[in-house]
Amino acid sequence: MRQVTASGQTVEDAVQSALKQLNTTEDQVNVEVIDEGKKGILGLFGSKRAIVKVSVAENPIQLAEDYLLNILTNFTEEKVSVERTVQGTSVYFELTGKHMAMVIGKRGQTLNAIQYLVQIMLNRKSNERHQVIVDAEGYRERRKQTLVQLAHRLADKATSINKHVSLEPMPSFERKIIHSALQDNQKIETYSDGTDPHRHVVIRPSKR
C-alpha cells in the first residue's frame, strides 16, 4: 500500500501535499489526521504544523484480479489475458490464452474452484457483497446450453419412469440453471438436496 506522511499550515494543506507526492486525487485515498496543528499567536508565535498520513485506498476488485492472475500462473507459463467487466455488484472475468482446457478442468470443476476462491477473496476485502463469474473462452455459455438440454432430457425420463431422478453435484449457479430451465414444466418438480460440495438437483414427477 502506498502511503506518505505530510505536513502543512492546515490539515487541508497537508493533505494536498500528500496527494501531490502520491500523484493521485482525494477520492482515491484514506486520510488519517495525526495532528491538526494550531495557528499560534498572530499566526506566527507558537504555531504548529498539521500532520496527516495519507494512503492510497485499495481497490478490492483490482486485488481480486491480481489474485486470479497469480492462481493462473500455477496452471500455465503462457500469458493469460483477463478482461474484467463490472455490473453493479457482479464482477465478470473472461480468460483467454493457451491451455484453457487445463484451466477449465473436467466439467468446469477447476474453473469453478478458481471462481470460488476469487469470490471469497474479493468479499473479504470489500465492504460490499459481490458475485464473481470466472469464464474461459465462452465455456460458461456452452455449459449452460448443455445443462438446459440435460435438464429437459432427465425431466422426460422422470415422467416416463414415474420416479425421481438425481443429477450430479453442482455449484449453486449451475443448479439454478436446471431449476430455471424446468420451472414452466407442469409435469415435474425440482429441488436441491444434500450439503455442499455434494448438493445436487432432484427432478421428480409433479404431485399437483
How confident is the model at residue 42, as a pLDDT? Answer: 58
> 101 near 74, Cβ under 8 Å?
no
Dist CA 135 CA 150 (whole Å): 21
Q: With a cut of 70, list the residues of the chain below it in pLDDT.
A: 1, 40-46, 208
Convert the pLDDT of each residue in 85-128 to its tens digit.
999 999 999 999 888 898 999 989 999 999 999 999 999 988 89
Q: Report whether 116 contacts 127 (CB < 8 A).
A: no
Residue 7: count of CB within 10 angstroms of its CB: 17
What is this structure's pTM?
0.72
Residue holding cell 478442468? 105
Report the alpha-carbon distance of residue 183 to residue 177 in Å, rounded.
Answer: 10
| Distances in whole angstroms, Cα of residue 61 to Cα of each of 21, 32, 84 | 25, 23, 9
Domains of the chain, start order: 3-56 (no CATH), 60-137 (3.30.300.20), 142-205 (3.30.1370.50)
C-alpha cell belonging to residue 52: 496527516
The three grid cell numbers given for residue 178, joined into one nine-digit string:
436446471
* Residue 68 host element (H or E): helix 60-72
